[in-house]
Structure 1
C-alpha cells in the first residue's frame, strides 16, 4: 500500500516537473513568435503568462488525478468560480480583450496623431486596459480600450502625407484668374508643399458675399499645422498687396414703419386742445 502510494506520488511529481518544463517552453515559443512578428512586447508578455497559466492548470489537474484526488468536483468548483469572476469583471475583461486586439491588428502606433471618440491627440501608450493620448494643448486623455476598439479611429499619421483644405473668399469684383495665379505662386514658393500630387486651386462656391476658392496642397503629416498657418498669412498679405479683397459677411437691416404708427407719432407731436367742460 505504501509502495503503491509512493509510486503514484512519484509519478505525480514527475508529471509536475515535466509539465512545468514543457509549459514554459511552449509559452516562451509563443513569445518568440510574437517578437519575430513585430508584436508589442507587452502583448508578448501577456500571452506568455496566459499560456503558462493555462498549461500549468492542465498539468496540476493531471497530477492530482494521478494521486487519486477527485478532479471532477475541483474542475466544477473552478468553473463556477471562473464564471462568477468573469461576470463581476465583465467590463474589465472586455477592455482586456480589446487591448489584445489593438496590439495584434495595430490600427495606430505610439507617436501617431489620431482621433478616437471625438478626442484628437498623439498616442503616448497602449496598454492592455487603456490607451493614453496627449492633446495639442498638453492634456492627457485616458480611454478604455473597449471604447477605442468599438469606436471610429481616424489616423492622421498613417499615410505620411495629408491634404490641406483651405477656403479663402475674394470679392465679386475681383479678378478670379489673378487670385488663383497669386495662390499658385505662393504654393510654388513654399518648399514644404509637395509637388506630387499637385496642388488644386479652383472656385469652390459662389457665396452670399464672396467667391470662395478651394486651395488644396499636399504636405507631410508632421508639417500640416505649420504649413497651414504660414500659407494663410502669406495669402492674406499678398492679396492686400495685389489689391484683392477678402470680404466679410454683411447684413443689411431695413426698418419699415407702419402707417398707423406714423399717424400716432404725428398726433403725439401735435396734440389737439382739450374740450371745454360744460
Structure 2
C-alpha cells in the first residue's frame, strides 16, 4: 500500500514537472534571454562609444582648434548619440524591432511638436553653433550690429552678451547676430581710419597736406607703412575737404580712438599756428530795409484816434 502511494506521488510530481517545464522554457526564451541580450548589447555599445567615439571627436576638435564651447557642445551631443545608438542596437539584438519602430514614430511626433513650439530658441541655438564655429567675432572684440556698439563679453549657445562703452550690458539672441551684418573693426592686425580736414578756399592745399603728413609722422600710434595718404574729396560751400587716410596697428578701441583724437587735435593746432584757415559753415544776409513815411495831404500829422 505504501509503495503504491509513493509511486502515485512520484507520477503526479513528474506530471507537474512535465507541465511546468515547457512554460518555464517559454518564459526563459521569450523574456529572460532577450533581456540579457538587451543589457549586454547596450553596455557593449555604450562602453565602446565612451572609449572610442567620444575621445575621437575630442581629438579631432582639438586638432582643428575649435572654441572650448564648441568642443563641450560636441562632446555632449556625442554622448547623447552614443546612448541613442546603444539603445537602438540593444533593441535590435534583443529582437524588439517593433519597439524601435514605435519609438521612432513617437520620437518624430515629439520632435515635430517641439520644433514648432520652440523654433526661435532652436534657431538661436543653431546660430550660436555657427558663430562659435565660424568666429565672425570673439570674446573681447569690439563689434557694431544695427545701432548697438560694444565689446563682446560672452558667447553662449543661445545668446551673446555685449558691454557698451557706457558700461551697459546688452543681451542679443544669436539669431539676430547671424541674420544681420556685424562690423568687427578689430578683426585684423591693422585698421585704416579716415578723417576729412576742411581748409579755406584761399589756403594753399599743398601746404596743408604737408602739415597733415608731418603731424601724422609725429604721432607714434600711426603707422609709417602703409603710409598716410591725402586726397581732395570735397569742394563744399565753405571749405575744401582733404580726406586723410591713416593706419593704426593693433586696433583696440581704447588705443585707436585716442590716436585719432590726438592726431586731429594736433593738426588743428598746427593749422592755427601755420595760418591755415579751417572754416565752419556760416550764413551771411545781404540787403537793406526801406522805411516809407506817409503824410496827410494837408501836411499835418495825423491825429490819434
Q: Check whether TM > 0.5.
A: yes
Q: Partners of 2:43 and 2:128 in 1: how far apart?
A: 33
Check 1:176–1:240 CA distance in 2 against 1; reply closer, same or farther (3 A cut).
same
1:169-184 equivalences in 2 (<5 Å) = 169-184=198-213
Cα-to-partner distance string for 1:23-62 (whole Å, 9 max, x where unaligned): 3231332122112211111111112121221231232233
Q: Are residues 274 and 171 of structure 1, via their aligned partners in 2, closer, same or farther at CA, if it must alter by over 3 Å?
A: closer
Alignment of 1:197-216 (within 5 A): 197-216=226-245
Q: What corresponds to 2:142 in structure 1?
A: 113
Gaps of 5+ in 1: none
Larger radius of gyration: 2
8 Å contact from structure 2 (residues 233, 242) kept in 1: yes
**2:9 matches 1:9:** no
Choose 153-162 or 26-35, whichever is displaced more: 26-35
The structure 2 residue matched to 1:244, chosen from 251, 266, 276, is: 276
2:18 alignment partner in structure 1 = none
TM-score normalised to structure 1 length = 0.88
Contact 1:9–1:67 (CA<8 Å) still a contact in 2?
no
1:44 partnered with 2:71: yes
Cα contact 1:117–1:148 (8 A) shared by 2: no
Q: Find 1:253's aligned residue among 285, 294, 298.
A: 285
Residue number in structure 2 paired with 1:235:
267
Give TM-score scaled by structure 2 length: 0.81
SS of match in other structure, 1:141: strand
Distance 1:266 1:250, change over 3 A: same
Number of matched residues? 268
Shift in alpha-carbon separation, 1:254–1:13, aligned structure 2, 3 A: same
Give the equivalent residue in structure 2 for 1:99.
128
Name the counterpart of 2:156. 127
- Give 1:202 shift: 3.0
Q: Which runs of 5+ in 2 are unaligned?
A: 1-25
Pair 271,30 (structure 1): closer, same or farther in 2 beyond 3 Å: farther
Between the aligned partners of 1:205 and 1:157, the Cα distance in structure 2 is: 29
